[in-house]
Amino acid sequence: MKGKQVVLAAKKTTLKLLMLTNALLVSVIPTGQALAQAVDYTQPVPKTQFNFETPEEGWSFAGGAGLDYDRGLEHSGRGNGWVRATSGWNAINNLINVEPNSECSVTAWLRTSDTLTDGYISVRPFNIDGTIGSVINEIKLIGAGSPDPQNRDYNFYTFNFNSGYNNRVLFYVGLFGNGRDSWVQVDDVEVSCVSPVTQPPVPPITQPPVPPVTQPPVPPTDINQAGLDLIKKSEGFIEMAYSDPGGVLTIGFGHTGPDVVEGMIITPEQAEQLLRGDLQEAENTVSSLVTVPLNENEFSALVSFVFNVGAGNFEESVLLQLLNQANYLGAADEFLVWNKDNGEELPGLTERRERERELFLTPPVAPVPPV
């Protein structure tokens, strides 16, 4: 099949990785190795390829995305993946198991609509707690060429990344909708890695040290500063009491109640204290309805969401359903759905949902241990 080659990195590598399907981590131990011998992972092994020939390759989807078969849209074979939408975040994803500190490369054949302005082919770390880390490497996709998909050639894309401390990465092709019908088609994805040569194992210690006693993490019950700042920026501060469109006296960061009277003036510090009190109901709602572990950023992003949309909407939401199934990534993408009022998308709500999703996916900073 014809296609332009867009080569961003040409380092040829080999693979030592395993696919994650149904969130089950499968370990493979080389046989026939003496315990004291080093295992050389630089020897060539078969590469992992995703040819979209069957639906059993482990793909998951966010928003408008899926698989096509026998439609004549593939680069080769009979199938291909696709992402298509006019709004929000949409992606086709796959979880891959890699050796830590491996040099890896990604290759893929893609073609795009001429309307695409904000697409990505990307790799991120998949953390043990189910959160997604910052982008390791990616290519931004911008559409060009004929609007007819039958007349547009696939282009070849490749980039390299180092797996760092991670043993799992999330590979995805996705796009942010721009109000116009935009799409990406993907086929013949290949991920390959070279892992470092391992050192001989250290002989066992005769008297192993007693492991320290660790306390289980305490689940968060209060919004953190990052979540509070998110709400403050979204709500906006007004120092003098005013009547909202419904005629309700309001002050500070959207505070209402019998304590607000005409002519009342408060400082930003006083407004923050009132806001913390107003957030207690949302904090209690998240604590009572979420049944899976949350870190402080996940909890705070959910408190901001509930404070804005209400406890009832949260209780009935797909976001909560996916989260209580431990589908953290799927739940994160559901933030972006809640950006409309009476069916009309509002830029302010879109920005707030994107910031809540970003906070939800950001691992919290570990506290500095005392000296």
**What's the pLDDT at 15?**
30
Residue 262, CB-side half-sphere exposure with 13 Å CA sphere: 2
CA–CA dist 97, 18 (Å, integer): 5
**pLDDT exceeds 60 at position 20:** no
Helices (H), the chain: 225-235, 268-278, 280-289, 296-309, 311-315, 318-323, 328-334, 347-361
CATH of domain 3-194: 2.60.120.200
- CA 267 to centroid of chain Cα atoms: 37
* Interval 322-347: pLDDT, tens: 999 999 999 999 999 999 988 899 99
Look at 8-12, 59-63, 121-125 and tell me which has the smallest mean pLDDT. Answer: 8-12
* 235 annotated active-site: yes
CA–CA dist 6, 242 (Å, integer): 57
**pLDDT exceeds 60 at position 11:** no
Ordered DSSP codes for 241-302: EEE-TTS-EEEETTB-STT--TT-B--HHHHHHHHHHHTHHHHHHHHHH--S---HHHHHHH
Query: What percent of the chain clears pLDDT 70, i.e. is strictly above it?
Result: 79
**What's the pLDDT at 236?**
92
**pLDDT exceeds 90 at position 160:** yes
* Interval 57-114: pLDDT, tens: 788 899 999 999 888 888 988 889 999 999 999 999 998 888 888 899 999 999 998 8
Highest mean pLDDT among 3-7, 36-40, 89-93: 89-93
**What's the pLDDT at 26?**
27
- 102 or 206: which leads in pLDDT: 102
- 365 or 68: which leads in pLDDT: 68
Please tell me which residue in 74, 99, 235, 298 is annotated as part of the active site: 235
CA–CA dist 175, 113 (Å, integer): 11
Distance in angstroms between the alpha carbons of the first and the last residue of the chain? 62
Query: What tokens does 186 get?
Result: 């993907």
pTM: predicted TM-score of the whole model, two decimal places: 0.43
Write the CB contacts of 55 (distance below 8 Å, at least 6 apart in sequence): 67
CATH of domain 225-361: 1.10.530.40
Q: Domain boundaries in the chain?
A: 3-194, 225-361
Look at 107-121, 192-206, 303-317, 329-343 and tell me which has the smallest mean pLDDT. Answer: 192-206
**What's the pLDDT at 144?**
64
Rounded average pLDDT over 178-188? 92
